[in-house]
A and B are shown apart, each in its own frame.
Chain A
């Protein structure tokens, strides 16, 4: 976190700084973000893929700090690199199965998809040049701090905040309901037909 804060203090995009240190930091963190992302999608080892994604999220947190979004940067480390990736690594451990090398199927579909994305990028990149017609405005001193964002969250967006907390509660309950094992219930009710229809359903996850 000290590194992030250092990165944030060095950048003052409202004034043209003569030092190139922020730009160098930006390139370094961009390389971390894109390199981690590319490693994530091309890894066959699942644990390595998750670790690459963690590196990506740390790099993104640094980039957020460069945009003066300090609260969101901290949240990125806590929620993404912390909570969500622990969830991912837990599921990878439960599933515990490397992807078997299999023949490339649906090659034409994949080619069409890849070409679509590349063409989307070629269309998008020139548009981004003109995305910022005016200059960059100077933010207030407390821009992006916890006090500032909290003030907005609990005044302007109180309903959305409460709705999102209920959404998270529903998601957690749904996750437990979907992922729990149904074995006990089935045995209690004596519905053995279900077992015969799907013999694999009775295998415990610990196998």
Chain B
């Protein structure tokens, strides 16, 4: 038998790795992928608690998270392509046009 807390630990570690990716990397594509990692960690937590309480409503919730993540990836990558057209670069540190 697998203790359900193991799944929660895995989700927490996955979230930490995703957060590290967002903070340590300056490449916008890697940052978007790290956001996907964190969304998946949240999904894993939701599904674990759904399994603990034998509640299939958690699966509907996870379904919505996946759909919103797909929308987020599509818009985020489109914005990156638009930025790349104008700036030839997707380094977050150099996108300071709206900073001051």
Contact between B24 and A110 (Cβ–Cβ < 8 Å)?
yes
Task: Please list 5 pairs of residues, one from A and one from B, whose beta carbons are closer than 8 Å in the complex, sorted by A's number.
Answer: A16-B1, A72-B43, A110-B23, A157-B60, A176-B78
Given A69-B51, A114-B23, A132-B52, A144-B71 contact (CB < 8 Å): no
Contact between B47 and A178 (Cβ–Cβ < 8 Å)?
no
Given A26-B6, A49-B30, A128-B8, A69-B71 contact (CB < 8 Å): no
Set of chain A residues within 8 Å of B73, measured between Cβ atoms:
84, 87-88
Given A30-B10, A69-B62, A137-B2 contact (CB < 8 Å): no
Contact between B66 and A76 (Cβ–Cβ < 8 Å)?
yes
Selected from B6, B50, B78, the residue in CB contact (under 8 A) with A175 is: B78
Contact code string B63-87 (vs A, CB < 8 Å = 1, else 0): 1101111111111011111101111
Give Cα distance in the complex from A137 to B27, angstroms.
44
Contact between B67 and A178 (Cβ–Cβ < 8 Å)?
no
Task: Check: A205 CB closer than 8 A to any chain B CB.
Answer: yes
Please classify the interface of chain B as helix (H, G, I), strand (E, B), loop, or mixed, using the class held by over half of its residues. helix
Task: Check: A2 CB closer than 8 A to any chain B CB.
Answer: no
Contact code string A152-189 (vs B, CB < 8 Å = 1, else 0): 11001100100011011011101110110100000000
Q: Least Cβ distance of A170 to chain B in Å?
A: 8
Contact between A87 and B44 (Cβ–Cβ < 8 Å)?
no
Q: Least Cβ distance of B9 to chain A in Å?
A: 6
Contact between B80 and A84 (Cβ–Cβ < 8 Å)?
no
Contact between A37 and B63 (Cβ–Cβ < 8 Å)?
no
How many A-B residue pairs have C-beta atoms within 8 angstroms? Tell me. 238
Contact between A168 and B67 (Cβ–Cβ < 8 Å)?
yes
Give Cα distance in the complex from A152 to B62, angstroms.
12
Set of chain A residues within 8 Å of B25, measured between Cβ atoms:
41
Interface residues of A in 7-52 (CB under 8 A from B): 11, 13, 15-17, 22-23, 26, 30, 33-34, 37-38, 40-41, 43, 46, 49-50
Give Cα distance in the complex from A110 to B24, angstroms.
6
Contact between B17 and A41 (Cβ–Cβ < 8 Å)?
yes
Contact between B63 and A121 (Cβ–Cβ < 8 Å)?
no
Set of chain A residues within 8 Å of B54, measured between Cβ atoms:
136-140, 143
Task: Check: B13 CB closer than 8 A to any chain A CB.
Answer: yes
Give Cα distance in the complex from A144 to B79, angstroms.
36
Contact between A105 and B70 (Cβ–Cβ < 8 Å)?
no
Set of chain B residues within 8 Å of A83, measured between Cβ atoms:
70
Additional pairs, 7, CB under 8 Å, beyond known A136-B54, A152-B57? A34-B17, A49-B30, A72-B62, A84-B69, A134-B52, A152-B56, A201-B85
Selected from B10, B48, B66, B77, the residue in CB contact (under 8 A) with A91 is: B77
Contact between A26 and B29 (Cβ–Cβ < 8 Å)?
no
B13 closest partner in A (C-beta):
A34
Contact between A167 and B80 (Cβ–Cβ < 8 Å)?
no
Set of chain A residues within 8 Å of B8, measured between Cβ atoms:
128, 131-132
Given A117-B20, A125-B9, A68-B51 contact (CB < 8 Å): yes
